[in-house]
Structure 1
Amino acid sequence: MCARGALSGIALLVSACGAGEDASARDEVLAESSQAISYGGHDYIFVTSWLTWDLAQAHCRAAGYELVTIDNSAEETFLQAHQSTLTVPNWWIGLNDQAQEGRFVWSGVPSTSSYSNFYPGEPNNGGGAEDCVVDRYQSPDGTVSTESWHDQPCTNRHPFVCEKGQEATTSNGSFSYSATNTNSGQQNTVTHSVTLTAGTIFTVATCGVLGASAQGDTLLRLLDPYGVEVAGNDDFGGVCGRASSISLRLLSSGSYTIVAGCYGSGSCSGVVSFRY
């Protein structure tokens, strides 16, 4: 089992822009606490920084994503599994009726999704100003806590989920490994180098990337060209369980080192896959 927080933290750096920001804010590069994973042919980023709906959408689009569209109950279950590991309620999704009251549509690419998961009595446009929708709703006083949807004022600030279709790329790679007694990735590890460019969004994982797999409690670390650890993950959680996943926008160009090991002194193995 993983000691929670021992090696956590997945950083994504993106430019945010949107209505209501001044010029300096539009140009600022934000460091967000995020988790990224692939599921069902789509890539998702779970961002735990709290933004308004419009800024959340702008943040997603700056990284080439859109606020998530939920197509069915299976996708809902996947999202909820990861939201629950981050212990935060009220996640912005792409559903909104800003253009026409009562006509809810998904932002981004037109969707034919007819799936709905509103909490009983919702949406109700409370106060006449609730035009955007959160998933995993929790009331301000905590008396209502549900995995359902709820309409909210778009100016509220919440975490959010970004989504896009997986893109074909020739810049993928993978390697197999088996290790034991790695002292949580500090010794007896397997390493792999990859040359990367600053500004690239890089994902490396034993779950959630095509070809990745894990047996046992895997652990991944990523070292920058100067040998400094820039990210690490033990248990990604959710549908990945004890498998590992790291995703971040790189700040430097050069040769990065992927370090594959196991939690504690146990044994593990798997296929480490990466994309950029």
Structure 2
Amino acid sequence: MVVMVTGHDPTERQLQEAVAMATLQLSRPPAAAAASSSVCSPGWSKYGSRCFRVFTNRVTYAGANAACRSKAQGGRLAMPKDKPTNDALVRLRNGQSQTVSTWIGLNDIRREGQFVWEDRQALGSFRVWAADEPNNLPNRNADCVKIEKASSSGVYANKWRDYLCNGRLGYICEKEQTIKVSGLDQAKLVL
């Protein structure tokens, strides 16, 4: 659908009517259309209701957070809050690289020993800590969490470890899926 407002100086009423017509048409899809699906952007992998992507360039925890917000257009560091999601992220990362540890969105920056996810929820009962982790080493300053690389020794491989936030690691981002609705005409408002 194309809504056009002609003239050099459209009135406020003309603009309101054009917007109302476009909104009405978009909010009421044709009966035959109704098909919609959720998709991930190219390069992202769908798992459950989220899209994930591994980045192997090495950045600090803060850099990873900023990159996820930027590259994911509102995304964030991945938060594997349950075993199936964690296992999916490990498989995804290992498919990219088995020699790069990756940041996840979990830290105890604000209060030592109280790990919280990037969405500010407390760490629940699901945990995949490596042996003797978290240990706040080195120098009692390891406040950010990584999934250790697969090529590490057996007790650490693919497990969570606390680490210095200024360390340089890969990272995993997550974001919402895009809803793709087929059969709708695209609206265009020309002023």
User: Structure 1 residues 152-161 or 78-87, which shifts more?
Assistant: 78-87
Question: How much has 1:113 moved relative to structure 2?
Answer: 4.2
1:39 aligned residue: 47
User: How big is each residue's C-alpha offset from its partner over 1:54-92, in whole Å with a ceiling of 9 and x where there is no partner?
Assistant: 010011112321101112111111111111112233110
2:148 aligned residue: 136
Percent identity reads 30
Higher-RCO chain (CA-CA 8 Å, sequence separation at least 6): 2
Match of 1:117 among 128, 132, 150: 128
**Given that residues 56 and 100 in structure 2 are in contact (C-alpha distance below 8 angstroms), is that contact kept between their aligned partners in structure 1?**
no
1:95 aligned residue: 106
- The reply to whether residue 74 of structure 1 matches residue 72 of structure 2 is no
**Given that residues 93 and 134 in structure 1 are in contact (C-alpha distance below 8 angstroms), is that contact kept between their aligned partners in structure 2?**
yes
Pairing of 1:55-204 with structure 2 (within 5 A): 55-62=63-70, 63=72, 64-87=74-97, 88-108=99-119, 110=121, 113-126=124-137, 127-137=139-149, 142-143=152-153, 145-170=156-181
Question: Could you say what secondary structure the match of 2:84 adopts?
Answer: helix
Pairing of 1:211-222 with structure 2 (within 5 A): none
More strand by share: 1
> Which of the pair has more CA radius of gyration?
2
Question: Could you say what secondary structure the match of 1:69 adopts?
Answer: coil
Query: What amino acid sits opposite 1:69 in the alignment?
Result: M
The whole-number CA distance in structure 2 between the counterparts of 1:84 and 1:118 is: 18
Question: How much has 1:51 moved relative to structure 2?
Answer: 0.6
**Given that residues 35 and 46 in structure 1 are in contact (C-alpha distance below 8 angstroms), is that contact kept between their aligned partners in structure 2?**
no
The whole-number CA distance in structure 1 between the counterparts of 2:171 and 2:68 is: 9
Number of residue pairs aligned between Structure 1 and Structure 2: 138
The whole-number CA distance in structure 2 between the counterparts of 1:70 and 1:43 is: 12
Structure 1: gaps (5+ residues): 1-33, 173-276
Query: What amino acid sits opposite 1:121 in the alignment?
Result: D
Question: How much has 1:138 moved relative to structure 2?
Answer: 6.4
- The reply to whether residue 50 of structure 1 matches residue 50 of structure 2 is no
**Given that residues 105 and 145 in structure 2 are in contact (C-alpha distance below 8 angstroms), is that contact kept between their aligned partners in structure 1?**
yes
**Given that residues 43 and 163 in structure 1 are in contact (C-alpha distance below 8 angstroms), is that contact kept between their aligned partners in structure 2?**
yes
The whole-number CA distance in structure 2 between the counterparts of 1:91 and 1:53 is: 10
* RMSD after superposition: 2.6
Question: How much has 1:112 moved relative to structure 2?
Answer: 6.8
The whole-number CA distance in structure 2 between the counterparts of 1:43 and 1:124 is: 31
State the TM-score, normalizing by the size of structure 2: 0.64
The whole-number CA distance in structure 2 between the counterparts of 1:56 and 1:79 is: 16
The whole-number CA distance in structure 1 between the counterparts of 2:122 and 2:47 is: 18
The whole-number CA distance in structure 2 between the counterparts of 1:52 and 1:35 is: 22
Question: How much has 1:44 moved relative to structure 2?
Answer: 0.7
User: How big is each residue's C-alpha offset from its partner over 1:101-134, in whole Å with a ceiling of 9 and x where there is no partner?
Assistant: 0000001363674310000100000111100000
Question: How much has 1:151 moved relative to structure 2?
Answer: 0.5
State the TM-score, normalizing by the size of structure 1: 0.45
**Given that residues 134 and 152 in structure 1 are in contact (C-alpha distance below 8 angstroms), is that contact kept between their aligned partners in structure 2?**
yes
Identify if the C-alpha distance between structure 1 residues 58 and 138 changes in structure 2 by more than 3 Å, giving closer, same or farther.
same
The whole-number CA distance in structure 1 between the counterparts of 2:122 and 2:153 is: 33
User: Structure 1 residues 129-138 or 104-113, which shifts more?
Assistant: 104-113
The whole-number CA distance in structure 1 between the counterparts of 2:123 and 2:167 is: 27
Question: How much has 1:168 moved relative to structure 2?
Answer: 2.4
User: How big is each residue's C-alpha offset from its partner over 1:194-232, in whole Å with a ceiling of 9 and x where there is no partner?
Assistant: xxxxxxxxxxxxxxxxxxxxxxxxxxxxxxxxxxxxxxx
Pairing of 1:11-30 with structure 2 (within 5 A): none
